[in-house]
Structure 1
C-alpha cells in the first residue's frame, strides 16, 4: 500500500509538471521577456528629450545633464551612513525614509534614491561610489528652459507615480514624464525611447558581465524636436502687460487656428520647476490659493462672456430672420418689461439699430433681439435648442478638441437646462434675458472667446485652435487644418463686422484706436460679487475685450479678461489693442497706452478682504454684464433671471 501511495504521488507530481509545461509552451500567449527575468539586471539608457522652438525658430527648451543616485535595496551592504548622507546633502532621517520607500517599492528593482545631482555633486560622489554597494549613478536629462516666460505653455517634467506606472508599463519608478503644457500634450513625441543594457548576474546576485555579450542591448532613440505656434516675443509682451494683474489673454491666427500667445496672470519662471527644488517650488505655487499661478486662466477660467456675446445674438437673429439691420428699438436707459426694468443700460441714444447697438453696446437693443429669437417659436425649449446650436457652432459651450493639456467646456444652456431649472413649459424669454448680454447661465473661457472672434473675422468658419506647428519627420493632424463652419450664412457677417469696426470708430473703444490698423472689437464688463462672512459683497468689476485685425483677412484674433479691471476699455481693451499692434507692426506707437498699463497695478484691488466663491443663488453665479464709457451707478444694474424666476410664463 505504501509503495502504491509513493508511486501515485510521483505520478501525480509528474503529471502536474507536464501539465504546467504544456500550458506554458502551448496555451500561454505571454512570451519570454528579458525584462521579466530576475537573473538579469536591466540598466536603462535615457534619451535626450526633443527640443522646443517657437514659431520663428527661437529655441525655448533644451536639455541639461542630470545624475540620479539609484538604489537596489537587497544589494545594499553596511555603509558609513553619515559620510554617504554628507556627500548627498541629506539628513540621516531622509536616508532612512527613502530607503524604506525604495524597499517597499521593490527590494530587487532599482529606484531613485536621490534625484538630479548637480555636476559638482556628481563629480565628488563618483569617486567614492565604490564604497557604497547597492547604489549606482544613472545619467539622465533635465529640461533647460532658455526663457523665463510661458510656464503655462511649456509645462514641466517630473517623476512618475505608481498610478502612471500601472497604466503605462513603459515607465519605471524614477522615470520623468511631462506634467503640464507642451511637455504633457506631446510627451510621447518629446520623450524618445529608452535604451536597455542587460547584465547577467550569478547565483549570489553579483554582476558578471553583459548578457549574451550585449546581443540584446538596445540604443536609446532621442525625442523629436517640435516647433510650437507661440510667438515668444508676443507672449513675453503679453506677460509684461499682465504684470500685477490677474486674468488671461489668448491670441489666435484666424487663417489657420495657430495660437500666437496664451498668457495667464500671474505666472512664474519655468526654471523654478527644474532640479532638486522642483517639488518644494511646485508645492508653494500650487498651494497659493489666492493668486493661483498654476491655474491657466486662459484655458480653465470660465467667465460670463459679457457684451462680446452680443455679436453672437446679432448673428443668430439675422440667421433666424427675426431682425433686420435697419430695425430700431427704443432704449430708455435699460430694457423694461411692463413697468419693471430688467436690465440697465448706459446708452442714451434712442431709437437704436444694430450698428449702434454693437458700437455703443446697448443692452436694451440686444434684449429685444434675443426675445425675438426665443419668441419666434411656439415652444421656448425648442427655441433655446435652436439658439444653443447656433452658439455652439462657434466653438462655445464645449471642449474645442485642441492639443492643449488642460481646458474647460464653458456653458451654453439649452431647453433641457431650463426645463430642469424651472419645470417643463414653465418659463419663457423674460426669464432668461440675461443671455442676451452674455450673462445669466452663459460661460466661456478666454480661448473660446478668441476662437469666436476668429470665426467672425473669417466670416463664418474657424480652425481648431492648436499649439503644434511642426514635428520633426511628421505631418500635423488634419483636424487642425480642416475648417469648421458655423451655422450662420456668410452674408450675415458683414453688418456685424462693421458694428465691431465702429466700436473703435465711434463706440466704447473709440479712444483705443491704433494708427494704420483697422481693428474690429467688442468691450465687456462683468460685475463681481463674492461672499464675505456669508454676506453678498460687490467688488470691482471685471474687464473683458475681444477683437480681430485687420478688418479684412485678419492676422490675429484676441480675447483679454482682466479680473477686477473696472470696465472693458480700461484694462482689457488697452491690452488687446497693444497686443495687436505688437504682432502686426512689431513695435508700439501708442506708448501712452503702454505706459498707462505698465504703471497701473491692480494689486490693491486683489488685497481687499475676500473669502469664498463668487456669490451664488440656487447654484448659479450672479454676475451682471454691461458696457460703459463711464462707470454708472450700481442701481443702473439689475440681475434679470433671478428677479423673474417666479414670474408667470408670458407665452
Structure 2
C-alpha cells in the first residue's frame, strides 16, 4: 500500500514537471523568442519594398538637369519558382537559355528563399509583353523602379550615374542595400547618395498557401510610405556649361568657372565628355565599356583628376608671395635681355624676346620669365644658400595656402591634390645641401615638378579676385526644400597676403588682356584680368588661360586648359572669353580681333600621342635638375611650329614660357 502511494506521487510529480516544462517552453516561444512568430508570419505575409523616387538635380536657375523615368525590374524568388515554359520566358525577355541560367544561378546563390533581381531596366516594349503574362511564371514578378534621365544630356562627369549596388557597397551599408538596389556610382550621384536616395517604404501583403495575394496585412497598419529623395540645387549654370562643352568639342582639357563671392562652381567641363543617358538602360554596361576603351578617356574627370604644370598662370601668385615677404615692391625692375642666368645656364624668355626694363605690372603683362626667375631666386636665397631647405619650405607653405598641393575637398569623389614638391624630395634626389635655387628655378615660372588641377587654377583666380581669400569650391548650392547650405561653404579661407598687394598684380593681369598676350580675347565693355600660359610637358604644350571679370566686383573666375593646344592665347584665352561674356551678358559679341565661337566649336585640337622618352642627359655639376627639367630650362626643348589661327592681334606678344 505504501509502495503504491509512493509510486503515484512519483508519477504525478513527473507529469507536473513535464507540464511545467511545456508551459515554460510555450511562454518562451510566444512571449520571449519571436522567431517562430516571424516564421509563421512569413508563411502568410509577403513584404514588398516600395522604392522612392530619387531626388532631382537642378541648375542654379532652376532648370532640370536630372529627372526620373519609370522602369520595371524582373525579380525572382528561386524557391517559389515552379516548372514553366523557359523558352517562352526567354523569348519575352529577349535573352537566350545560357543567359537565363546565369541570371538564375546568381539569384539562387544570393538566396533561394529571398527575392532578388533577375533582370533590370526593361524597356517599354518588353515590359508590356511580359506584364500581361507574368502570372504564367511563378516565382517571378515585376517591380516598378525609377532610373535617371538627363533632359539636356550635359555635365556627365559632374552629375555622375547610378548603377546596381555591388557586394562591397552592400556589405558596408549594414543591411540597407540589397542585390538589385540602385546607388550613386560617380559624380554628385555618389557624393550626395544619402540625400538623393530617399527613404524606402514597405507594404505587407497577405498571401495564401499557394502564394496568391489576399489583401493588406492588418489593413496596412504596419506599412510605411516611401519618401522621395531630397532635391539638389546645383551651382552649375547650364547656359555656360552647354557652351563650354560645345567649345571643347574635339579637344582634350577642362573648363572650370567659379563665382568668387561664394565659391560656387558655375561651369565644370571635362572634355571629351559623354552623354549621361548612355549610362541608363539595358545597354549601359556595353556603353560603359565603350567609354572605358575610348581614346582620351572620357571617364576621367579632368577638372579634378588631371594635373598640369600651371606655366605662366602661376606668375601672379609668385609675385604676391614676394610682395608679402618684402623681397620686391611694385617698383622693382629687371632688365630683361631675353633670358635669365641661373647657375651656369640661361633660362630663356619665350622665343628669346627681349622685354627690356620691366616692373611688376609690365612683367605680368608681358610674361617675362626673367623677372619671375629673379623673384623666385630672391625668395629662396633670402637667408643664404646654406638655408635653401628652410627658405624653400617657407615658399612652399605660402603657395599651399592658395590651395595647391592638397585636395580642395570638393563635394565630388575622386579629387586629386596636384603636386607641390617638398624640400625632402630634392634632398632625396640630390642629397641634403646638394641643391640650390638654380636647381629648381623652373618652379618660379610654374614648371618643373609643380602640377595643379584646373579646379585649383580657377580657385587661385577666385582668391586674387577676392584680394586674399576664397570660399571652398562646391557644386551643390542648396539641399532640399529648405535650401540648406553647408556651413563649410560659407567660411572664408585667407591666404596670408595683405589686400594692398593685389592691385599692382591685377594691373598687370588687366594689361595681359587689354594690350598683352591675350589682347585678341578682349571683350568690348568688360574689363577682364587674366594670364596666359603655355604649360610645357614632354611631347606637347598645353594651352592655359586663367582670368576673372569684371575687375571691380568680380562675378566669375575661370581656368581653361586645352591639351596640346600650344600657346595660351591661341585656344584657352578665346574659349574663356566666350564663357565669361555669356555668363555676364547672356550673349557673345564679335571681338575686335575677329574671333567668334563657331570656329572654336568646330576646330579639332587633339593632342599628339606621346613619343618615346629620350635617353637621359648628364647634367653639369651645378645644374643638378632632372634631365627633362635641365633640358627645358636650358632652352633645349624644341617647340613645334603651331598653325596660325587668327589675325596677328591674337598673337601679339604671343605667349610666355
Structure 1 counterpart of 2:355: 349
User: Aligned partners of 1:352, 1:635: CA distance in 2, in Å?
Assistant: 27
User: Aligned partners of 2:276, 2:348: CA distance in 1, in Å?
Assistant: 45
Deviations along 1:220-278, whole A, 9 cap, x unmatched? Answer: 00112121111001000000100111100000010111100000111111111111111
How far residue 318 of structure 1 moved from its aligned partner, in angstroms, is 0.6
**Secondary structure of residue in 2 paired with 1:196:** strand
Structure 2 counterpart of 1:255: 261
How far residue 635 of structure 1 moved from its aligned partner, in angstroms, is 5.3
User: Aligned partners of 1:36, 1:585: CA distance in 2, in Å?
Assistant: 69
- The TM-score normalised by the length of structure 1 is 0.86
How far residue 505 of structure 1 moved from its aligned partner, in angstroms, is 2.1
How far residue 624 of structure 1 moved from its aligned partner, in angstroms, is 9.4
How far residue 574 of structure 1 moved from its aligned partner, in angstroms, is 0.8
1:500 pairs, out of 497, 509, 513, with: 509
User: Aligned partners of 1:614, 1:37: CA distance in 2, in Å?
Assistant: 74
Structure 2 counterpart of 1:452: 460
1:382 pairs, out of 376, 387, 390, with: 390
Structure 2 counterpart of 1:532: none
User: Aligned partners of 2:329, 2:609: CA distance in 1, in Å?
Assistant: 48
Structure 1 counterpart of 2:598: 595
Structure 1 counterpart of 2:160: 155
Report if aligned partners of 2:334, 2:357 keep a CA contact under 8 Å in 1. yes
User: Aligned partners of 1:209, 1:615: CA distance in 2, in Å?
Assistant: 79
2:275 pairs, out of 256, 269, 272, with: 269
How far residue 621 of structure 1 moved from its aligned partner, in angstroms, is 10
User: Aligned partners of 1:266, 1:285: CA distance in 2, in Å?
Assistant: 10
Structure 2 counterpart of 1:476: 485
Structure 2 counterpart of 1:245: 251
Report if aligned partners of 1:526, 1:624 keep a CA contact under 8 Å in 2. no
Structure 1 counterpart of 2:470: 462
User: Aligned partners of 2:320, 2:38: CA distance in 1, in Å?
Assistant: 64
How far residue 206 of structure 1 moved from its aligned partner, in angstroms, is 7.3
Pair 1:567 & 2:567 matched: yes
Deviations along 1:389-448, whole A, 9 cap, x unmatched? Answer: 211111111111221233110121232332233222222211111110111111100011
User: Aligned partners of 2:135, 2:276: CA distance in 1, in Å?
Assistant: 36
**Secondary structure of residue in 2 paired with 1:351:** strand
Report if aligned partners of 1:153, 1:262 keep a CA contact under 8 Å in 2. yes
Structure 2 counterpart of 1:51: 56
Structure 2 counterpart of 1:586: 586
**Secondary structure of residue in 1 paired with 2:530:** strand
**Secondary structure of residue in 1 paired with 2:357:** coil
Report if aligned partners of 1:49, 1:190 keep a CA contact under 8 Å in 2. yes
Q: Which moved more, 1:60-69 or 1:37-46?
A: 37-46
Structure 1 counterpart of 2:146: 141
Report if aligned partners of 1:526, 1:623 keep a CA contact under 8 Å in 2. no
2:428 pairs, out of 383, 401, 420, with: 420
How far residue 212 of structure 1 moved from its aligned partner, in angstroms, is 3.9
Cα RMSD (Å): 3.2
**Secondary structure of residue in 1 paired with 2:358:** coil
**Secondary structure of residue in 1 paired with 2:149:** strand
Pair 1:405 & 2:413 matched: yes
How many residues are matched?
605
Deviations along 1:8-46, whole A, 9 cap, x unmatched? Answer: xx99xx99x99xx79x969xxx99997998655431111
Q: Which moved more, 1:585-594 or 1:33-42?
A: 33-42
Pairing 1:34-183 to 2, within 5 Å after superposition = 41-168=46-173, 169-183=175-189
Report if aligned partners of 2:311, 2:536 keep a CA contact under 8 Å in 1. no
Report if aligned partners of 2:309, 2:537 keep a CA contact under 8 Å in 1. no
Q: Which moved more, 1:363-372 or 1:118-127?
A: 118-127
* 5+ long unaligned stretches in structure 1: 1-6, 530-537, 638-651
Structure 2 counterpart of 1:534: none
Change (3 A) 1:315 1:601: same
User: Aligned partners of 1:35, 1:546: CA distance in 2, in Å?
Assistant: 67
User: Aligned partners of 2:119, 2:528: CA distance in 1, in Å?
Assistant: 55
How far residue 202 of structure 1 moved from its aligned partner, in angstroms, is 7.1
**Secondary structure of residue in 1 paired with 2:291:** helix
Larger radius of gyration: 2
User: Aligned partners of 2:627, 2:42: CA distance in 1, in Å?
Assistant: 59
- The TM-score normalised by the length of structure 2 is 0.86
